[in-house]
Amino acid sequence: MSISSDIQEFINTSLAQKNAALLGQISKLVADSAENIKRSSVEAADEQLREIKRLRREEPKSFKRNKFNSKLQDTLEEAKSHLEVNAVEKVKASLSEDTSLLSERQKLILLADK
């Protein structure tokens, strides 16, 4: 039983097309998986950095100006990094934290002035 050359060519063309489509889907799947791994890695590193900064800020209260400035700078840098990745809610949270730090600082200044 012999297959005519037209049928054989049709089968080969169909197989080539299906293989190309399958390869494209596999490539997309691998690229998406790599992107997800990269994104989760960046998020984990960002979370660790925030935790380190939070621990630095939780030192006992002090009236030293440099600690306040470093806290404020940390939260501003955090907001800047969130802006780079378009994380608007995280930017709002960082700016809210800055506002509370400034309010707390203002209270301490008013108490010191009395």
Question: Where among 41, 58, 75 does a domain terminate?
Answer: 58
The tokens for 84 are 């780079």
Residues 66 and 98 placed together within one structural domain of the fold: yes
- pLDDT value at residue 59: 59
- 44 with 90, same domain: the answer is no
Q: How far apart are CA 95 and CA 89, in angstroms?
A: 10
**Residue 55: C-alpha distances to residues 40, 43, 51, 104 (Å):** 22, 18, 6, 18
* Same domain, residue pair 72 and 37: no
Residues 6+ apart with CB under 8 A from 85: 42
d(CA 110, CA 93): 26
How many domains does the chain contain in total? 2
Domain span including residue 68: 61-114
Q: Are residues 28 and 50 in the same domain?
A: yes
Does residue 39 share a domain with residue 4? Answer: yes
With cut-offs at 50, 70 and 90, classify the pLDDT of residue 90.
Answer: confident
Whole-model pTM? 0.42
